[in-house]
Amino acid sequence: MLAVLIATSLPAHALTSHQSGPTFDLGAGLGLRGAPLRPAVGGDVCLGWWAGTFDDQFSFGRYWHLQAVGRVDWHPDALGLTPMLELRRGLDIIVAGLSWGVAGGAVLSFPSEGEAPPVGFTGRGSLMGKFRRTRFLAITARLEAGADVVGGTPSFGGGFLLGMSFMRPAHRIEDPDPSR
């Protein structure tokens, strides 16, 4: 019977409801960027809003979220700032979650000599796993990779970050079909 239920595309009725709310991520780790490619110490701060079919008591469900991402990478020759807008799709199953995202934005590279920063752009993809410690807080591991173009020169941009994530429902969306 379980195999029949999993194989069909019937909607889930059990615990989930349409919800949305704020999300906040904070991470630190290692990055690679620039031409020539150099390792850097990096970090990011993400602030956004999520919406999906979710159960907030058991942290179970699927969701989309849109967030602003501020990424910083530092190495002795330069400081890189990368503000991006990211669209993310996620699935949480009790204490574990997995999400993927695509992002794009500007790249500012501040050389150590104090010159004016060249402005460029970036496009990146990411994969993030999380392990929930409470209903709303999780430990995360995020891998991102893409391309930066600064001063007409393309290069790799990405990194690996460990951090924390906060995701809490703030609004239940009323189902237009209460028979479901």
Q: What is the CATH number of the domain that holds 150?
A: 2.40.160.20
Ranges 4-8, 14-18, 64-68, 126-130: which has the least confidence: 4-8
- The C-alpha atoms of residue 93 and residue 98 are separated, in whole angstroms, by 9
- 80 burial (CB, 10 Å; 0-12 / 13-18 / 19+) is buried
What is the total count of domains within the chain? 1
Helix (H) or strand (E) holding 141: strand 137-150
The DSSP string of 112-127 is TT-PPPPEEEEEEEEE
How sure is the predictor about 176, in pLDDT bands with cuts at 50, 70 and 90?
A: low
- The answer to whether residue 44 is domain-embedded is yes
Provide the pLDDT for residue 151: 82
Does position 113 have pLDDT exceeding 80, yes or no? no
Residue 53 belongs to a domain: yes
* pLDDT (mean) for 119-140: 93
Residue at token pair 């008591």:
57
Q: Let me know if residue 177 belongs to a domain.
A: no
Residue 175 lies in a domain: no
> Is 178 domain-assigned?
no
In 3D, which of 108, 71, 107, 101 has the Cα closest to residue 86? 101
Residue 173 lies in a domain: no
Which letter does DSSP use for residue 59 in this model? T
How far is it, in rounded angstroms, from Cα 114 to Cα 74?
Answer: 15
- Confirm whether 180 is domain-assigned: no
Domain of residue 123 covers 16-165
Peptide bond into 118 cis (omega under 30): no
81 HSE (CA, 13 A, CB side)? 8
Domain presence at residue 6: no
Residue type, 101: G
With 0.95 as the threshold, say if the pTM is over it: no
Contact 180, 13 (CB under 8 A): yes
Residue 174 in this model has a pLDDT that exceeds 60? no
DSSP 173: P
